[in-house]
């Protein structure tokens, strides 16, 4: 079956590219992917599968492929939302939706999985178990789609879930993996510092919210340098400081927004505790009042070591002309809501290199000029196909 599956995928490479380009031209933002979801549903019309739509808190779709024999149940996941970015990539299939762009590769994720799923449907009598194809909405915007799909219970019978991400970390043909904690978790914070406004000439009659807020920005960095172990991974970014006013007026209040990243749940708890402690101390030290919003978004993504070792073994032994190198990658700094599947099931999320040909310094995901080598679509389909065959011991 494996050889047959690979031949089928090779014969449909152009179809993957065509699907990817259609989706790229018609991107939709998280929780607004109505037309994208309909496109996916239309693809499965008339096929011998069970289809469930509007799964979770949005346009999630789960397609169930029941094999001809009993055995393990696995899930294959691809996301399909886009980003609020004005596209600058010079491609003939540029986004038609102004200000919206597939700048993270989700168009490619969906394209490869649609074709792979169709091939698996045609070969389902040979599959000893059930495969659930998870087309997930809203990966980019918390609370995301994964958490709600997991909580729906629709996946409770799965043993494992697998997913990939296109990343420009090497030429098409390179596949990467990492066992253990692999993607950062993230949290969002917003702090409103309320002081007392006044005239710039008389600071003693006011209480300067900008001074207090500026102190918080500096002090927050000491959480990383002085509260975390040198062996822990954490980042605090204050990305917004809304203190715009008039040059000779002491600001009454300011608002700060920040992004927090961490690689373990223990680090998450430590950073959250210290930020809350700093906000409380700010009130005491500067005589201001602080209103802190702190929301934990996606947890760290943990790849089960045993499952990941098997994935690496299947790929290294694939002897496939399109999978040219398989190697371990370091942990990734971004976050990924695949983490919710990995928290519930022993899972593996691995990486498909996609640097465009001839580019030595490619634009990374989320850049307005981000693009991929479309040869990576076939690599993704075959890599996940080899993993499926490996877990089902199909030769």
Strands 60-66 and 348-355, sheet pairing: unpaired
242 catalytically annotated: no
Catalytic residue among 118, 139, 140, 336: 139
The CA distances from residue 195 to 215, 240, 258, 291, 379, in Å, are: 14, 18, 20, 12, 57
Q: Where are the alpha helices (DSSP H) in 44-105?
A: none
69 vs 86: CA distance, rounded Å: 48
Nearest to 111 by CA among 321, 375, 387, 389: 375
Q: What is the CA radius of gyration of the chain?
A: 24
Residues 6+ apart with CB under 8 A from 327: 174, 175, 176, 177
Determine the distance from the C-alpha atom of residue 14 to the mean position of all C-alpha atoms in its chain, rounded to a whole number: 26
Q: Do residues 60 and 115 make contact, with C-beta atoms less than 8 angstroms apart?
A: no
Number of Cβ within a 10 Å radius of residue 115? 24
Catalytic residue among 28, 33, 79, 81: 81
Nearest to 391 by CA among 352, 353, 348, 350: 348
Nearest to 365 by CA among 62, 22, 105, 87: 105
The percent helix, strand, coil of the chain (3-state, each to 5) is 35, 30, 35
The DSSP secondary-structure symbol of 204 reads G
Nearest to 212 by CA among 200, 199, 194, 226: 194
Number of Cβ within a 10 Å radius of residue 53? 15
81 catalytically annotated: yes
The CA distances from residue 133 to 261, 295, 302, in Å, are: 30, 30, 21
347 vs 242: CA distance, rounded Å: 41
HSE of 157 in the Cβ direction (CA atoms, 13 Å)?
11
Q: Which residues are known to be catalytic?
A: 81, 139
């Amino acid at each position: 079956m494996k050889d047959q599956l690979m031949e089928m995928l090779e014969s449909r490479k152009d179809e993957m590219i065509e699907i990817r380009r259609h989706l790229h031209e018609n991107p939709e933002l998280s929780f607004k992917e109505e037309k994208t979801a309909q496109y996916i549903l239309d693809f499965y019309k008339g096929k011998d599968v069970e289809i469930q739509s509007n799964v979770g808190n949005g346009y999630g779709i789960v397609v169930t492929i029941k094999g001809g024999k009993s055995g393990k149940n696995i899930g294959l996941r691809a996301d399909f939302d886009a980003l609020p970015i004005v596209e600058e990539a010079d491609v003939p299939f540029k986004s038609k939706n102004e200000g919206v762009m597939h700048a993270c590769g989700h168009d490619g994720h969906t394209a490869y999985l649609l074709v792979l799923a169709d091939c698996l449907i045609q070969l389902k009598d040979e599959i000893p178990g059930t495969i659930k194809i998870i087309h997930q909405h809203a990966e980019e915007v918390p609370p995301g789609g994964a958490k709600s799909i997991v909580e729906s219970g629709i996946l409770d019978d799965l043993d494992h879930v697998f997913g990939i991400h296109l990343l420009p970390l090497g030429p098409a043909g390179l596949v990467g993996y990492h066992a253990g904690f692999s993607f950062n978790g993230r949290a969002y914070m917003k702090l409103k510092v309320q002081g007392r406004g006044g005239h710039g000439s008389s600071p003693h009659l006011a209480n300067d919210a900008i001074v207090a807020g500026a102190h918080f920005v500096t002090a927050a960095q000491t959480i990383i340098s002085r509260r975390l172990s040198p062996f822990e991974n954490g980042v605090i970014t204050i990305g917004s400081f809304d203190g715009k006013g008039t040059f000779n007026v002491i600001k009454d209040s300011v608002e700060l927004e920040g992004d927090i990243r961490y690689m373990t749940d223990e680090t998450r708890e430590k950073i959250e505790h210290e930020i809350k402690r700093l906000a409380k101390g700010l009130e005491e030290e500067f005589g201001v009042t602080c209103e802190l919003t702190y929301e934990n978004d996606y947890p760290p993504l943990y790849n089960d070591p045993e499952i990941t070792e098997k994935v690496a073994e299947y790929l290294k032994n694939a002897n496939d002309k399109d999978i040219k190198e398989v190697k371990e990658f370091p942990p990734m700094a971004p976050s990924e809501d695949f983490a919710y599947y990995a928290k519930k099931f022993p899972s593996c999320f691995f990486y498909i290199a996609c640097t465009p040909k001839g580019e030595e310094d490619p634009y990374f995901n989320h850049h307005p000029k981000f693009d991929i080598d479309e040869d990576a679509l076939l690599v993704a389909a075959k890599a996940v196909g080899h993993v499926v065959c490996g877990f089902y011991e199909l030769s």
